Amino acid sequence: MSLNIIPPPTLVEEKITTTPLNPEKAKFSKRFRGYLPVVVDIETSGFDPSRNAMLEIAAVIPVMDENGRLSIQETHSAHVVPFPGARLDESALAFNKIDPYHPFRFALEEKAALERIFHAVRAAVKRNGCTKAILVGHNPAFDLGFLNAAVARTGLKRNPFHPFSSFDTATLCGLAYGQTVLAKAALAAGLPWDSQEAHSAAYDAEQTARLFCGIVNRWEDLVEATAR
């Protein structure tokens, strides 16, 4: 069984905690009603958030330049140990090619993994003058359901994400490119797609982030062109 190793994001976290706030460029607080869009992908052992385990989680935080254009700033990710009693569906593991108990995963317990991701997201929310993060995902109901279930299971109190609102890149890609499948949408947008890397949380989250940033940027271009 193949294995995608996600290195610990310690160096990235150290970098972001020292990034100064530039009020002239911190426009996220106005662009999305005070929400910071954070792209999330979660790989799991099935489809039931209450019974199946979260096995990988990745969060991609964008940055906005002085012209209102988005790009990827940083990616945070973790392998996750299945919670006690979790159901591990063989079909799901065959699909995402994850061995939940492989020693080289260097997986964290569910609470520690969430704390790692949430720490980075809260820092970005504060840095950009936003009030909360909003989950961006490809069919985000799936990811948000697993995220909320894990938060409830671990008893974490400082979840930076809105509990039910989200941005769906499947819908946005259907509008912009006529494609709703992530791989097909990426190719339609002119992005490369590596089927060997796909279904790792970090890869899928970064590809989704590129699509989201590209669509937002195209919209900004259309708005500017219309205003001329």
Write out the catalytic residue numbers: 199
Is the CB of residue 187 less than 8 Å from the CB of residue 193?
A: yes
Is the CB of residue 88 less than 8 Å from the CB of residue 82?
A: yes
Token pair listed for 156: 């974490």
Token pair listed for 165: 């609102």
Exposure pattern of 132-162 as b/e (b: 16+ CB <10 Å)? Answer: bbbbbbbebeebbbbbbbbbebbeeeebbbe
Q: What is the distance between the alpha carbons of residues 195 and 132, in angstroms, rounded to a whole number? A: 33
Is the CB of residue 78 less than 8 Å from the CB of residue 56?
A: yes
